[in-house]
């Protein structure tokens, strides 16, 4: 009795499966926010076409299954049992019709959301295009007056330790620049951030409201001072030790200074014993000997003094003495050697 219905359901299910595959493919092909309006228009139209196909097929399948249900209800008990078995064979299982219907309905919701996103993007890009055109006509020299050459802007690739420097420079040049709109700032921000940092904000459309969301996302991810300080301490520990040559010692000391200064700027107490211990671990034995001599000399001087101040050999003293040792040896190395 349900033969004609089953014959129609087979092709309808095949059409539904193809539409599901097409929908997943198109959803995965969402344009990047920086792509042209034409790409967004094409993608949105493909979404609408696929959504329409899914809804038509679901409606057709719904009609057929309702007809089959009526057949079962109107059949005699034995026939109804046979029809039920046939229906279960078609509808049940992991690849059955009911699973495909549920998957298709979920995709219809996803397609609807994506269509709305696409239409918003098209609308915003159209507004941005009109605004840019009117700005070019009304104030052609506006951006030349701002004087922000691209190569002078800071770049940030997601290195946590470099965030404070990037943010200070970007904030001064762009974020607090009264001549710029938030749209301008977002465009500059997109040009400044790269790599992992870029991925964090790349799905936000360039709007005034989204600029502040994007900035907050970056500051939440990279602006945690405790994380930055922990990273700097880890970088200090990971520095390779210098060898006995003065150029190697200079290279290592410059890196130590860079890390220590950043920690100090962030309020870290650099005169902790573990920091001076790490610094000494990076030095060759002859430098350690010079440091120990300087320490003993300073201690003796302190003991001879009438002051009641306790002797302290902290990180700042170690760094100052290191700098003097290096400068002295570099000065000697620059002197011309006299021939005998």
| Residue 144 within a domain | no
Kindly state the tokens that stand for 323: 């700098």
Asked whether residue 52 is domain-assigned, the answer is: yes
* d(C-alpha 41, C-alpha 180), whole Å: 29
Same domain, 180 and 219: yes
Integer Cα distance of 83 and 317 in angstroms: 92
Cα(74)–Cα(23) distance, integer angstroms: 38
Q: Which domain holds residue 185?
A: 150-223
- pLDDT for position 128: 67
> Percent of the chain at pLDDT above 70?
90
**Could you tell me the CA-to-CA distances from 202 to 141, 164, 196, 221 in Å, in that order?**
29, 21, 10, 15
- Residue 243 and residue 313 in one domain: yes
DSSP state of 232: H
Does residue 232 fall inside a structural domain? no
Q: Is residue 229 part of a domain?
A: no
8 and 118 inside one domain = yes
| Sign of the four-CA dihedral 182, 186, 188, 193 | positive
Contacts of 216 (CB under 8 A, 6+ apart): none
Give me the pLDDT at residue 133, please: 57
Dump pLDDT digits (tens) for 77-86. Answer: 888 788 788 8
Q: Are 180 and 153 in contact (CB under 8 A)?
A: no
Dihedral angle sign, alpha carbons of residues 257, 260, 266, 267: negative
CA–CA gap between residue 272 and residue 277 (Å, rounded): 9
How much is the pLDDT for 212? 93
CA–chain centroid gap for 311, Å, is 48
| Low-confidence stretches of the chain (pLDDT beneath 50) | 134-145, 149, 151
The answer to whether position 145 is within a domain reads: no
| Beta bridge partner(s), residue 193 | 156
Here the tokens at position 307 are 């002051």
State the DSSP string of 156-204.
Answer: B-S-GGGHHHHHHHHIIIIIT-TT--HHHHHHHHHHHB-HHHHHHHTTS
Out of 223, 247, 269, a domain closes at: 223
Tokens of 16: 């539904």
Whether 94 is covered by a domain: the verdict is yes
Q: Are residues 27 and 132 in the same domain?
A: yes
Claim to verify: residue 8 and residue 134 sit in the same structural domain: yes
DSSP letter for 150, please: G
Residue 337 is predicted with a pLDDT of: 60
Q: Is 138 helix (H, G, I), strand (E, B) or coil?
A: helix
Q: Residue 34: what pLDDT?
A: 78
326 φ/ψ angles, rounded to the nearest 5 degrees: -65, -45
Q: Are residues 165 and 210 in the same domain?
A: yes
Both tokens assigned to 312 = 């302290």
Q: Is residue 339 part of a domain?
A: no
């Amino acid at each position: 009795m349900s033969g004609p219905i089953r014959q129609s359901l087979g092709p309808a299910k095949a059409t539904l499966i193809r539409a599901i595959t097409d929908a997943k493919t198109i959803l995965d092909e969402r344009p990047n926010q920086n792509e042209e309006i034409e790409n967004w228009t094409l993608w949105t139209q493909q979404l609408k076409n696929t959504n329409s196909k899914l809804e038509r097929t679901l409606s057709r399948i719904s009609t057929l299954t309702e007809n089959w249900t009526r057949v079962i209800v109107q059949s005699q008990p034995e026939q109804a049992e046979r029809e039920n078995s046939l229906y279960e064979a078609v509808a049940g299982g992991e690849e059955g019709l009911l699973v495909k219907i549920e998957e298709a309905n979920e995709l219809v919701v996803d397609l609807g959301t994506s269509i709305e996103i696409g239409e918003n993007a098209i609308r915003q890009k159209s507004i941005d295009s009109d605004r840019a055109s009117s700005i070019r006509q009304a104030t052609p020299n506006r951006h030349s007056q701002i004087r922000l050459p691209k190569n002078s802007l800071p770049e940030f690739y997601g290195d946590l330790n470099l965030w404070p420097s990037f943010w200070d420079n970007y904030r001064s040049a762009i974020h607090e620049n009264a001549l710029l709109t938030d749209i301008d700032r977002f465009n500059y921000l997109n040009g400044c951030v790269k790599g992992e940092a870029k991925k964090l904000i790349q799905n936000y459309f360039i709007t005034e409201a989204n600029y502040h969301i994007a900035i907050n996302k970056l500051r939440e991810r990279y602006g945690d001072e405790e994380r930055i300080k922990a990273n700097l301490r880890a970088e200090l520990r990971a520095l390779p030790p210098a060898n006995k040559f003065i150029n190697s010692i200079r290279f290592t000391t410059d890196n130590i200074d860079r890390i220590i200064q950043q920690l100090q700027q962030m309020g870290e107490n650099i005169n902790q014993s573990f920091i001076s211990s790490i610094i000494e671990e990076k030095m060759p034995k002859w430098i350690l000997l010079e440091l120990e001599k300087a320490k003993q000399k300073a201690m003796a001087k302190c003991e001879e003094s009438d002051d009641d101040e306790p002797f302290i050999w902290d990180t700042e003293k170690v760094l100052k003495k290191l700098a003097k040792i290096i400068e002295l040896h570099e000065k000697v190395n620059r002197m011309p050697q006299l021939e005998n």
